Amino acid sequence: MGRTIVQLTPRQQEALRRRAKAEHVSVSELVRRAVDASLAVPTVSEEQRKRALAAAGSVRSDKGDVVDRHNEIYVEAVLGE
């Protein structure tokens, strides 16, 4: 494994120490998990963001589930999935 120096606020350090103790893992393990979680989130390109914003509100629908599915619909519009 590689080494990386990260500067944290005292509040962040204490919170990490408490969480590590509660989960019976090292602070390093918590940081690795956080990095993995952050990298797993798909990024949205500027073009995808512009397309989604341009499409917002431009279509009428007679479907009643739009409010319930708005996050799913947004992801489909932005990522084309």
Say what the pLDDT of residue 51 is. 85
Sign of the CA dihedral with 42 first, then 45, 46, and 49 last: negative
Whether pTM exceeds 0.85:
no
Of the candidates 46, 32, 31, the one whose C-alpha atom is nearest the C-alpha of residue 78 is 46
Say what the pLDDT of residue 65 is. 72
Say what the pLDDT of residue 79 is. 77
Say what the pLDDT of residue 12 is. 96
Q: How far apart are CA 43 and CA 9, in angstroms?
A: 26
pLDDT less than 50: residues of the chain: none
Whether the Cβ atoms of residue 72 and residue 66 lie closer than 8 Å to each other: no
